[in-house]
């Protein structure tokens, strides 16, 4: 049996996904609810990663540590071999996560009230974090056609001119799973250069792209404009290590790195804990084969949902994304409001999906379903959805 078929009990493990349903969904009793919401997987991390962490654990001494060149080499080789992006070890800074990195970047390079451009619907911290830092969110709502999102660059440029200092790009895009194409990326770079805007490219989903598509790192094609790009990557989404916490900020611009380092020092410094460093190094060095298998399982899970759900529930449309393990389900033709839909799913179907408006008003009429789980769990989720709506 494949490791991806193993159903692992996750309740009572302090899992946000499984153990916080009462708080997140306002339900009294969550024991019967199947969670397919927050973006972590129900799979064990690769054995090679667990072994590296076990070795670290068994050493037993957990004093101060530092990020070794071996960790940086592992990241560099991964980016070179998987994404054809050639970076230097010195371009890297490490952080506890991509979201904390976004906060640091926004704080370092913008002032109160400066504009931060986002393309909605989008991952909520893109507007929540800068919003809490009292930056002005400039929202460009993407064009949706037959389940695919695209950018109208005339409108995008108008948005860029609203005192925007940073454009936060989600690449691949969550939700919607768009792997942006080179021409689109080049247009973004050109317009941001024209209006002197920094680009924060969040590429945390970059490894989770199906073989028919290819992720192009923004930094890899930016040429002379590479200095205005700050890329965030992480092994945590790819290898299911969100609770271990680690991310990498990549910038070829020494002045940007110095400012980020100064910001980190002003907040007590940033490093990785011993387990995160061990996990990161092992994942990037040896996790490739596990990832290939994962992508096949996720792709098959998506095909299953796309085949079964619209057939059984009139008004449901699903377009297969280019990557990620997240389905963006269009239920606008059911005529149900978001409240009605969530109520049916939770109470009748005992299924927790994410309501689209969590991703901004542009997400109304959609649900996000996480299919990074064993095929039997996906089947259970589809049955619950059908039951909820019938
Ligand atoms: C686009 C995007 N960025 C960042 C994160 C989370 O990053 P981290 O856990 O490293 O803070 C997620 C998680 O779903 C995400 O989808």
pLDDT at 94: 97
Report pLDDT digits (tens) over 187-237. 999 999 999 999 999 999 999 999 999 999 999 999 999 999 999 999 999
pLDDT digits (tens, 9 = 90+) for 299-317: 999 999 999 999 999 999 9
Domain with CATH 3.90.1150.10 in the chain: 3-46+289-389
- CA dist 98 and 282 (Å) reads 19
Instruction: Give the per-residue pLDDT at 291.
Output: 98
Mutation choice for ligand 1 from 96, 98, 273, CB with most ligand atoms inside 8 A = 98
Give the DSSP letter of residue 8: -
| Average of per-residue pLDDT across 361-378 | 98
Residue 387 Cα, ligand 1 centroid: separation in angstroms? Answer: 31
pLDDT at 283: 98
- Indicate the SS3 state at residue 89: helix
Nearest of 195, 196, 185, 203 to residue 87 by alpha carbon: 203
Give Cα separations from 162 to 127, 155, 157, 218, 382 (angstroms): 16, 12, 9, 23, 43
Convert 189-233 into a string of H (helix), E (strand) and C (coil).
HHHHHHCCCEEEEECCCCCCECCCCCCCCHHHCCHHHHHHEEEEE
Task: Determine the residue of 40, 123, 171, 233 to mutate for testing ligand 1's pocket, defined as the one with the most ligand atoms within 8 A of the Cβ atom.
Answer: 123
92-135 residue pLDDT tens:
999 999 999 999 999 999 999 999 999 999 999 999 999 999 99
The per-residue pLDDT for 1 is 83
Which CATH number does 3-46+289-389 carry? 3.90.1150.10
Evaluate the CA torsion angle 23, 357, 170, 111 in order and state its sign.
negative
pLDDT in tens, 137-172: 999 999 999 999 999 999 999 999 999 999 999 999
CATH 3.40.640.10 fits 50-286, yes or no: yes
The pLDDT score that the predictor gives to residue 137 is: 98
The residue contributing the CA closest to ligand 1 atom 14 is: 39
Distance in Å, CA 127 to ligand 1 centroid: 13
- Mean pLDDT, all residues of the chain: 97
- 271: pLDDT strictly greater than 90: no
């Amino acid at each position: 049996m494949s490791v991806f078929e193993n159903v692992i009990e996750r309740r009572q493990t302090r899992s946000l996904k499984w153990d916080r349903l009462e708080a997140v969904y306002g339900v009294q009793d969550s024991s019967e609810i199947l969670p397919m919401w927050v973006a972590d997987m129900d799979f064990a991390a690769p054995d090679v990663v667990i072994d590296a962490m076990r070795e670290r654990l068994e050493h037993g001494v957990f004093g101060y540590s530092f990020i070794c060149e071996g960790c940086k080499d592992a990241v560099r080789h991964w980016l070179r071999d998987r994404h054809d992006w050639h970076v230097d070890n010195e371009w890297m800074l490490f952080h506890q996560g991509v979201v904390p990195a976004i906060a640091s970047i926004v704080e370092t390079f913008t002032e109160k009230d400066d504009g931060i451009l986002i393309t909605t619907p989008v991952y909520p911290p893109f507007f929540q974090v800068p919003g809490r830092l009292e930056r002005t969110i400039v929202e460009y709502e993407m064009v949706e056609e037959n389940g695919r999102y695209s950018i109208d660059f005339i409108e995008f440029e108008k948005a860029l001119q609203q005192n925007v200092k940073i454009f936060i790009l989600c690449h691949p895009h969550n939700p919607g799973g768009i792997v942006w194409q080179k021409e689109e990326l080049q247009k973004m770079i050109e317009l941001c250069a024209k209006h002197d805007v920094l680009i924060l490219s969040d590429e945390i989903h970059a490894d989770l792209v199906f073989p028919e598509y290819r992720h192009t790192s923004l930094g890899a094609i930016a040429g002379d404009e590479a200095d205005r790009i700050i890329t965030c990557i992480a092994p945590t989404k790819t290898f299911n290590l969100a609770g271990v916490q680690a991310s990498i900020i990549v910038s070829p611009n020494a002045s940007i790195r110095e400012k980020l380092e100064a910001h980190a020092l002003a907040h007590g410094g940033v490093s990785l804990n011993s387990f995160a460093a061990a996990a990161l190094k092992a994942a990037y060095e040896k996790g490739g084969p596990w990832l290939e298998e994962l992508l096949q399982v996720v792709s098959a899970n998506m095909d299953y949902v796309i085949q079964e759900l619209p057939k059984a529930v009139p008004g449901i449309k699903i377009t297969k994304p280019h990557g990620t393990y997240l389905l963006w389900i269009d239920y606008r033709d059911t005529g149900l409001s978001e409240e009605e839909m969530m109520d049916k799913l939770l109470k009748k179907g005992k299924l927790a999906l994410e309501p689209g408006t969590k991703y901004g008003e542009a997400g109304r009429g959609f649900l996000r379903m996480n299919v990074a789980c064993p095929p039997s769990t996906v089947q259970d989720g589809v049955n619950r959805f059908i039951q909820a709506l019938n």
